[in-house]
Chain A
Amino acid sequence: MTTTYTIPHLPPHKIYITHLPALSSAAFKTFQRELTSSTSPPSSEYAFLDASVILSTTHLLAAVFQAVRNELVSGKRRTRNVHSEVVYCLGGNNNIKEAYKRFGVTEETKDVIVIKIAHGSGEYWCEREEVGENIRRVIGEEGVMEAYGDGVARRVVDVEKVKRYYKIKADGSQTKGIDALGISALEVEVLGKMVGRVVG
């Protein structure tokens, strides 16, 4: 199951998010090979994230939003493509390697979030069916695909790890503990850390 999102304040685009609760290491190796191969076309570009460090859909989309915004200004993107930029943007600092270690998929990852961003035209654009088929091709018939949403996020997230990664102290001050409209206090803090790199 793949969920489609469209974020306001961006040019026409589609974001496809899929949750793979049990990605086999063989399947991941195939993905990895396609992702890192210099000859692979843009259609095989994906972002793979460790679901245990993603708080919510809001957290995820904030990274995607920032990545696409970077893509739109020439010379601002720091990594290979808009998909890898998503992982980098989650990091909240200038350390690309660190961001991959924390938010990317490793040997220990159990729950994986796959993101495909369709934008522009030609081979940068794709439809939901193609994304589904593409993932299915690699994970095989028995592989499980699930829709990703806040329900799944709550089930698989390791809140303590997220707090540690973003250096959020347990004893937040008074204002920090207040929820904003439509967004929880912790999400607000995480979003603040993610813009921290830009602002310095």
Chain B
Amino acid sequence: MSSIEIDPQTPKLLIKQGAEALVYSTTYLLPHIPALLKHRPSKLYRHPTLDARLTKHRCLSESRLLIRARSLGIPVPAVYFVDESRGEIFMEWISGSSVREVLDKVLAQEGGEVVVDRMMVKVGAVVGALHAADIVHGDLTTSNIMVRNAGGSELAGSGEREVVLIDFGLGAVSTQDEDKAVDLYVLERAFTSTHPKAENLFQDVLKSYEQSFKGAKAVLRRLQEVRTRGRKRSMIG
């Protein structure tokens, strides 16, 4: 499909660049609606037909997961608009900071663990809700979980602010305990590798996760197995 160039004058600010997508902070429709624009630019090293197909597929699968999750009441950004042929998704702008940033800030202080305790419970519940809906995130790290700014008290209130899951670029629908366990394993690694003090906090996440849905116990049993061998399945047998 050929398409016409979009006016490059539109104000947008690059805030993050991944292997696949560029993320901009911008506005949607009217100046008072802040939005996030996720753009997957075409890769020149790929054959154009294949490139268009991959971009379209990834764009649609990500928006599909976001819409599905939101309709089930799981806190994820709302999708405003999808242009799959250009590889663009406009979504809700979440004002807040990532769990990683919050932990970095809080754990630097004495006794900071108590403050984020409530937050850990929420993270566990949200991940549980996601898995209960048979959606796996695929890249569940502390950077991909955000805490909404409720305006007002900064650190003390971080336990009461809403937790939002972002970046479903690697997400998928799966009923398998294995996939869900890998999600938790990735999150555990993210916790322990960046915050030595956070190991105990992750236990709170698991505890809250365990109570969030029926299949959680089976997933946690599977997590034990994943821990001993790592994220990749054994290729023997």
Interface set of A (CB-CB < 8 Å, partner B): 7-12, 57-58, 61-62, 65-66, 69, 72-76, 173-176, 178, 180-183, 188, 191-192, 195-196, 198-200
Contacts and interface: CB of A to CB of B under 8 A. Distances in A.
Contacts of A58: 29-30, 33
Interface in B44-73: 60, 63-64, 67, 70-73
A9 B10 contact: yes
Contacts of A7: 29
Given A11-B4, A176-B73, A181-B93, A199 B34 contact: no
A66 B139 CA distance: 30
Interface of B: 1-7, 10-11, 26-30, 32-34, 37, 60, 63-64, 67, 70-76, 78-86, 90, 92-93, 95, 162
8 contacts: A8-B27, A11-B7, A73-B1, A174-B73, A175-B74, A180-B93, A192-B78, A195-B82
Given A9-B6, A181-B93, A192-B70, A62 B29 contact: yes
B81 A191 contact: yes
Given A9-B90, A66-B81, A192-B70, 7 more contacts: A8-B27, A57-B30, A61-B30, A74-B1, A182-B32, A182-B33, A199-B60
Q: Which among B2, B30, B37 has the highest number of chain A CB atoms within 10 Å? A: B30
Given A74-B2, A181-B95, A199-B82, A61 B67 contact: no
A11 B9 CA distance: 9
Contacts of A180: 78, 92-93
Contact of A191 (B1, B32, B80): B80
A147 B194 CA distance: 55
A117 B30 CA distance: 17
B63 A195 contact: yes
A4 B85 CA distance: 28
A183 B33 contact: yes
Contacts of B78: 180, 188, 191-192
A198 B60 CA distance: 8
